[in-house]
Each structure stands twice: as structure tokens, then as C-alpha cells.
């Protein structure tokens, strides 16, 4: 199977008539994704790319039985678009829009408390299940149906991990880019949990980044499992230049978490094979799947 989307997923695209919405919806349709409609206030009743356009998400859901949404709305209106989809009680929202004001996402996340809608993003490359479809902007032609689940905080490195697991024949079960914004929807830990439950997934690639504590939390989650699938992780930014710092608050808020070092240590302690270089993701995963799970602790490349 897969996570987040399956063959019953019917997608409505918010912002389908815009440049990005058009470009990616066209490609998604060509690859077999069930895009059943679009939403653009004021253009209800029109047809675009061969699918009907509606004024609201609720209307689109009523007419097309859509159960997922992908958002390509400009940043100033994107928070409103997410809230509209949440109000319509759609199951899944993938928000591709980047540069949404952080306080807008603070308000959105608070609004979503208790909602059944799952939000991926914002600033997400989307969710892709090889052979089934893609919600978002992930490139076509690099996927191979297979057994690796990929969860990533970095868009472009997601493709890198996909490419490597395609080249070595492992393939992907599902691939989720959760987005790199400080306040967003679904967490790395939750994606790991879904992959652990997914029958098709035999191994998991986790792509993290310096900053925040998502990887430390993921490590804490993995430590609670009795029986983990092999996880290979890469943390981007190990040698990243420290930008201009300003003041102390950003450093002390996490008590010495959030650096590449703390993330790598936490993940190693949780039994994850951490690779130093992104070029080793695919080969390390192949090695992991060829060995006993108990031997995994030693397979990471030493720093």
C-alpha cells in the first residue's frame, strides 16, 4: 500500500488556473493522478485542463467527491485557502505555496486543532506514490514503485533520495516532503509512524536539516519502538556557514538541540544509520536491507 494517498484519492487543485497550478496539474494528470477539479474564486463553471473549475472547495467536493486538495495559491492568500479546505473537512491538504508569513501558519495550525484534515506543508514539494500519482511538484520520471518510504524536510534532497533508490532498484513505496517552514502541518515523527504501519514499506529514508527539533523528536519516537524498520538519515547543513546571528534567543530556545551534531547523535542513539554524505543514502539503505536489523547500528558512515 502507500501512505497519505491511495487509489481512492481524488484531488482538487486550489489555484488551478494560475501559472504554477496549471503547469503541475497538467503534469499530474498526464501521470495518471486523479485530479477531478479545480478551485478559483470567480471562475466557477469554467473548464481548465479538461476538468471543471469551482468557486469554493466545498462546492468542488460536493460535485466531484474530491477527498484531497493541493494548494498553489499565492502566499498572501494561502492561509485562507488552507482554512477553506479545513472548513470543508477534506481529508488531506498538500500546500505547495512557499513564503507564507509565519504568523499566518501559527493561526492556521491553531485553527486546525482537533480537525481531521491532515496538512502537508506549506513549502512542500508534495506527496508522491509511484504508479499511483503525485500531489505537488515532484518531478516525473525518477520514481520506481518499490519498498522505501521517504520523508524529507528538503525538497531537492527528496529527489536525490528518490533518484538513488530508483537507481539501485529498491524503489519507493511513498514519498513525503513535509516542507521546510518553521511552522507547518504533518511532522517527521508522524510520517515515520505511518511508514512503520505500512506493509509495503521495508525501509525508511529520513532527510533532515539543521534548525528546529524535528529530527530529535523523530529520534525520541523511534526509541519507543520495539521493532523498527531500518531507517537511513542524512542531515543537510553539517558544514553550513553560520549566517548572521542576532542575539541569543535563537540559540537558547532549544537548549543545545537543533544543530547537525545533536540531530546526528540523537538519531544514532535511536538506531538510525546516519550518513555523512547525501551520495551514500541509497547504498546504505541497500546494505541495511541486506543485513539483519540488529546489525544496523554499525552501518552508518562514521563522521
Partner 1 sequence: MYLFEYQAKALMREWGIPVLEGAVATSEQRALDAARELGEGPWAVKAQTHAGGRAKGRVAGKEDLSGIEFNDTVLEVGRTAASMLGARLVTPQTMRKGETINAVYIEPEIKSSVQLFVAILIDGECGHPVCLASVSGGSQVERDVFDDPKSLVRVNLGARDKIDAAPGLEIASQLGLRATVKDGFAQLIQQLHALFMACDLSLIEINPLAIRDNDSLVALDARLAVDDNALFRQPRLAALASRMEVSKAEGLAAKHGFNFIQLDGDIGTFSSGAGLAMATLDVISHLGGRPANFLDVPPVLEVSRVKEAFLLVLSDPKLRCLLVNVFGAGIMRCDTIADGLLLAHLEEPVTVPLVMRLAGTNAPLAVSRLERSGLSIQFVSDLASGAAAAVDRGAAPAPLTTPESITGRLTRWLFGSRAGPGS
Site for partner 1 in 35-94 (CB under 8 A): 75-76
**Which of 6, 47, 62, 156: binder of partner 1 (CB under 8 A)?**
156
Q: How far is the CB of 272 from partner 1 (least distance, A)?
A: 18
102 binds partner 1 (CB under 8 A): yes
Comparison of 179 and 229: residue with beta carbon closer to partner 1:
179
**Which of 42, 45, 50, 256: binder of partner 1 (CB under 8 A)?**
256
Stretch that binds partner 1, among 134-142, 193-201, 265-273, 289-297 (CB under 8 A): 134-142
- The residues facing 275 across adjacent strands are 234
Comparison of 50 and 247: residue with beta carbon closer to partner 1:
247
Comparison of 84 and 209: residue with beta carbon closer to partner 1:
209
Stretch that binds partner 1, among 195-203, 221-229, 247-255, 285-293 (CB under 8 A): 247-255
- The residues facing 119 across adjacent strands are 93
176 binds partner 1 (CB under 8 A): no
Q: How far is the CB of 44 from partner 1 (least distance, A)?
A: 26
Stretch that binds partner 1, among 193-201, 220-228, 273-281, 290-298 (CB under 8 A): 273-281
Q: How far is the CB of 50 from partner 1 (least distance, A)?
A: 21
Q: How far is the CB of 45 from partner 1 (least distance, A)?
A: 28
Comparison of 61 and 133: residue with beta carbon closer to partner 1:
133
Q: What is the DSSP letter of 227?
A: S
The rounded distance, in Å, linking the Cα atoms of 60 and 290 is: 47
Q: How far is the CB of 62 from partner 1 (least distance, A)?
A: 30
Comparison of 54 and 72: residue with beta carbon closer to partner 1:
72
**Which of 207, 232, 270, 274: binder of partner 1 (CB under 8 A)?**
207
**Which of 155, 165, 166, 273: binder of partner 1 (CB under 8 A)?**
155
120 binds partner 1 (CB under 8 A): no
- The residues facing 94 across adjacent strands are 70, 120
The three cell numbers locating residue 185: 502541518
Q: Is 248 a catalytic residue?
A: yes
Map 118-177 to HEC letters.
EEECCCCCEEEECCCEEEECCCCCCCCEEEEEEEECCHHHHHHHHHHHHHCCCCEEEEEE
Positions touching partner 1 (CB under 8 A) are 19-20, 23-24, 75-76, 98-107, 109-110, 125, 137-142, 152-157, 159-160, 163, 180, 182-184, 207, 209-210, 212-214, 217, 234, 236-241, 243-253, 255-256, 276-279
Instruction: List residues with catalytic annotation.
Output: 248
Amino acid at each position: 500500500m502507500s501512505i497519505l494517498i491511495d487509489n481512492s484519492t481524488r484531488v482538487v487543485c486550489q489555484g488551478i488556473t494560475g501559472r504554477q497550478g496549471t503547469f503541475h496539474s497538467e503534469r499530474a494528470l498526464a501521470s495518471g493522478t486523479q485530479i477531478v477539479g479545480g478551485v478559483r474564486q470567480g471562475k466557477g463553471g469554467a473548464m481548465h485542463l479538461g476538468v471543471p473549475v469551482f468557486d469554493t472547495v466545498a462546492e468542488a467536493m460536493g460535485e466531484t467527491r474530491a477527498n484531497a486538495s493541493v494548494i498553489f495559491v499565492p502566499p498572501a492568500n494561502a492561509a485562507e485557502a488552507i482554512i477553506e479546505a479545513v472548513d470543508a473537512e477534506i481529508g488531506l491538504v498538500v500546500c505547495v505555496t512557499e513564503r507564507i508569513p509565519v504568523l499566518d501558519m501559527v493561526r492556521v495550525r491553531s485553527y486546525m486543532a482537533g480537525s481531521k484534515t491532515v496538512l502537508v506543508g506549506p513549502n512542500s514539494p508534495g506527496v508522491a506514490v509511484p504508479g499511483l500519482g503525485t500531489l505537488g511538484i515532484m518531478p516525473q520520471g525518477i520514481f520506481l514503485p518499490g519498498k522505501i518510504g521517504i520523508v524529507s524536510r528538503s525538497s531537492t534532497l527528496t529527489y536525490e533520495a528518490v533518484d538513488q533508490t530508483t537507481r539501485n532498484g529498491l524503489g519507493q513505496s511513498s514519498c513525503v516532503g513535509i516542507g521546510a517552514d518553521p511552522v507547518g502541518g504533518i511532522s517527521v515523527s508522524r510520517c515515520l509512524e505511518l511508514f512503520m504501519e505500512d506493509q509495503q514499506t521495508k525501509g525508511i529514508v529520513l532527510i533532515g536539516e539543521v534548525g528546529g527539533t524535528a529530527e530529535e523528536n523523530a529520534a525520541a519516537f523511534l526509541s519507543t519502538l520495539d521493532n523498527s524498520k531500518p531507517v537511513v538519515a542524512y542531515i543537510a547543513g553539517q558544514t553550513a556557514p553560520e549566517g548572521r546571528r542576532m542575539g541569543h534567543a535563537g540559540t537558547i530556545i532549544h537548549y543545545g538541540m537543533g544543530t547537525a551534531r545533536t540531530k546526528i547523535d540523537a538519531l544514532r542513539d535511536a538506531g538510525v544509520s546516519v550518513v555523512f554524505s547525501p551520495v551514500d543514502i541509497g547504498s546504505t539503505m541497500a546494505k541495511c536491507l541486506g543485513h539483519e536489523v540488529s546489525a544496523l547500528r554499525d552501518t552508518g558512515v562514521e563522521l
